[in-house]
Structure 1
Amino acid sequence: MLTISPAWPLTLYYDGECPLCLREIRMFERRNADTRLKLINIAAPTADTLPGLSRDEMLACLHARFQDGHIVKGIDATYWSYHAVGLGWLVKPLCWNWARPFWEWAYRLFCRLRPAIARMVPMPGNSVTASCESDRCEPRKKDH
């Protein structure tokens, strides 16, 4: 993970239909003053996926690509995304080699549980909540 010399910016591919993901993306947007992080919502019908990967494959695990084309995924994509917005200290434990098997296991578990967790988290925004009857969350207007 740390053996690469990052070629900023980093393009992060995220699920824009996941309220849990959107909360993290909103935080990234607020902290991205240096514009070292570009964000692409792969849930959008017009979004391009990474070469050789389907939309479903990209939705199953976080992916990111540095400007030089180097691709990172999973905990490595998380690690570098936080570094891009100046929060590397929060994810420092992800680079501890002795703990890496645990972090990879925990990330795989999170990916499997993410749809269920997302159903419990409201969609960010003023007039939107999450409708998560399936593995995907669709924004809908609040009933008043």
Structure 2
Amino acid sequence: MDTEQTGPGREQIAVYFDGACPMCAKEIAYYQRLDTAQHVQWVDVAGPNPSCPIGYDQQTLLARFHVKDMQTGQIYDGAAGFAKLWTAMPAPWKHLGTAASLAPITWLLELGYRLTLKVRPILAKHLFKRS
């Protein structure tokens, strides 16, 4: 795939997500519906033999949200990953992503993200049951 060009049908980022987590799957499905320009390559790393970026393994990718910038190769995780994802979405998410990329805001969002990671198993079990 030619990752040097961007535009409709060209992935700008790759999102690595836990498709086995009901909460994560619902959230990713929401973002997938927004990605009408197809700027995102969606990679479910929960299954066997997932496609992992060099230097990362399945357990690392399942433990935290990761996003890879396809042009630079840089990988963002946690709140910084969400900020990167949001910038690839249409407005108003794109604007939220730009704001969330600012260091003080990213830091605050990271605190919230870490709290969410701690309660994710409980939320996934009770609030986001698969139908």
Structure 2's unaligned 5+ residue stretches are 1-5
Q: Contact (CA 8 Å) 2:68, 2:76: kept in 1 or not?
A: yes
% identical equivalent positions: 23
Q: Which has the higher helix share?
A: 2
Residue of structure 2 equivalent to 1:105: 111
**TM-score, scaled relative to structure 1:** 0.72
Residue of structure 1 equivalent to 2:13: 10
Q: Which has the higher strand share?
A: 1
For the residue of structure 2 that corresponds to 1:35, the secondary structure is coil
For the residue of structure 1 that corresponds to 2:119, the secondary structure is helix
Q: Contact (CA 8 Å) 2:22, 2:124: kept in 1 or not?
A: yes
Cα deviation code 1:103-123 (max 9, x no counterpart): 222211211221111111334
Structure 1's unaligned 5+ residue stretches are 1-6, 130-144
User: 1:99: how far off?
Assistant: 3.6
Paired residue type of 1:105: L
For the residue of structure 2 that corresponds to 1:16, the secondary structure is coil
Instruction: Determine which of 34, 38, 54 is the counterpart of 2:37.
Output: 34
Instruction: Determine which of 74, 81, 91 is the counterpart of 1:77.
Output: 81
Aligned residue pairs total 119
Alignment partners' CA distance in 1, 2:114 and 2:78? 8
**Which structure's CA Rg is the greater one?**
1
Alpha-carbon RMSD across the aligned residues, in angstroms, is: 2.0
Alignment partners' CA distance in 2, 1:67 and 1:93? 21
Q: Contact (CA 8 Å) 2:87, 2:98: kept in 1 or not?
A: no
Alignment partners' CA distance in 2, 1:92 and 1:71? 17
